[in-house]
Amino acid sequence: MKNILVLNYEFPPLWWGQANANYYLFKEFSKNNNFNYTLITSSSHKYFEEVFSDNIKIIYLDIWKKWKNSQNQSIKDLLCYTFKTLIKSYILMKNNKYDLLMCWSYPAIWIWYLYKKIFDLPYISLLRWAETPFYEKKWEKLDKYIFQYLAPVFWKNSYKVIANSNWLKDLALNILANQNIEIIENWINLEEFNIEKNKNKNIFNILYVWRLTQRKWIHYLLDWFKTFSNNKENVVLNIIWTWEEYDNLLILSKKYYIENKVIFQWKKEHKELAKEYNNNDIYVLASENEWMSNTLLEALASSLPIIITNVGWTSELFNDNWWLINVNDSSDITNKLEIAYLEWQNWNLDKKWKKSFEIVKNKSWTNIANEYEKILTNSI
């Protein structure tokens, strides 16, 4: 059995997109006893340890994070996690023999680099989202003055650099053009989602799921929905999850006189989401740069038709059966919603359900875990 030490800031019970993906990947890792994993991650309230499976131990470090801000990582959160992880991982390294380091969290990459120099252990750098400079606007200044210069040093010393999309790979290559980067994408646990609909025939239900942040263009979505819903009494925009800009969005919905057509459902447990997908007619992902979110995959697994901004590698995933939003045309999403609404009225939207499922029907976490474990086997 080979021992793998993993640093990963995001893991349940602090549950958001990356935590969701990592949870399912570790569920698959638990099935292969050729590898023994020790994961150091974050907790919002206390230090504790968990035996996740026979071959996986999880150490949760208390980073003094408030649960209501679980979707947002501040500099304080990341620094607290990094320095606590440095201490804890060093103790583990001194008392245990590890064969490989896996880095899931950008603030901890420098720790891997340090340990490679001290202990001469190979490490794998994983580019999931914000680990890639210039992905997240809120880190723009840090990326500009610090991370774009540090990242190439860390990547060049990695055994492997693995991105979860071609778009992130291209973003990284803008920083270090000759870096060898492999692609292992996120996928979906199909067993949790049901393609059968619980339809409300009288209301056209539009679903948005995830964070209420500017990068997600949620404020634009309200503006577009205002135009679309004018003179329509049978349309509803359902917004599920998190609270970062809730107060501002509530004010905005009242300003647009659509507060009776926009339903903020707050955060729901992950297991409750499958029902919500089935209760809606179409899923909207209006984002500045995101094209492969976990909730998008869940919507596809639930056979929801998709309206999505044409960014990144979106056009490779979708075809003419879906509506790609032109990010340079502010009226385009309104037009796409009108098309979907007419199809719904004419009972044609149902035809697109199973076409959504076709995209993800062969995309399981089992296959993704196998790809990672092949790399782990060859690196040791």
Q: For 359-369, how does the pLDDT look when each residue is reduced to its tens digit (9 = 90+)? A: 888 778 888 89
Mean pLDDT of 131-160: 86
pTM to 2 decimal places: 0.79
What pLDDT score does 214 carry?
Answer: 46
Name every residue whose Cβ is closer than 8 Å to that of residue 22 and which is 6 or more positions away in sequence.
8, 10, 11, 104
Mean pLDDT of 5-20: 79
Q: How far apart are CA 367 and CA 28, in angstroms?
A: 9
What pLDDT score does 316 carry?
Answer: 67
Pick the more confident residue, 286 or 231: 231
Q: How far apart are CA 152 and CA 135, in angstroms?
A: 15
pLDDT, one tens digit per residue, over 114-139 is 888 888 889 999 888 778 888 777 77
Instruction: Name the one residue in this structure whose structure tokens are 């989401």.
Output: 273
What pLDDT score does 331 carry?
Answer: 80
Pick the more confident residue, 355 or 171: 171
Percent of the chain with pLDDT strictly greater than 70: 85
Using CA atoms, how far residue 298 sits from 190, 276, 294, 364, 365, in Å, is 8, 11, 6, 12, 13
The yes-or-no verdict on residue 245 having pLDDT over 70 is no
Beta bridge partners of 59: 40, 49
Beta bridge partners of 3: 36
Walk me through the domains of the chain, giving residue ranges and CATH numbers: 2-187+364-379 (3.40.50.2000), 190-360 (3.40.50.2000)
Residue 175 binned pLDDT confidence (cut-offs 50, 70, 90): very high
What pLDDT score does 131 carry?
Answer: 80
pLDDT, the chain, mean: 83
Q: How far apart are CA 185 and CA 162, in angstroms?
A: 9
What pLDDT score does 312 carry?
Answer: 66
pLDDT, one tens digit per residue, over 202-215 is 899 999 987 544 44
What pLDDT score does 212 carry?
Answer: 42
Pick the more confident residue, 346 or 156: 156
The yes-or-no verdict on residue 300 having pLDDT over 60 is yes
The yes-or-no verdict on residue 12 having pLDDT over 80 is yes
What backbone torsions phi and psi does residue 296 show, to the nearest 5 degrees? -60, -45
Percent of the chain with pLDDT strictly greater than 90: 30
Least confident of 160-169, 257-266, 318-327: 318-327
Pick the more confident residue, 95 or 295: 95
Mean pLDDT of 61-70: 70
Pick the more confident residue, 129 or 173: 173
Q: How far apart are CA 33 and CA 47, in angstroms?
A: 26
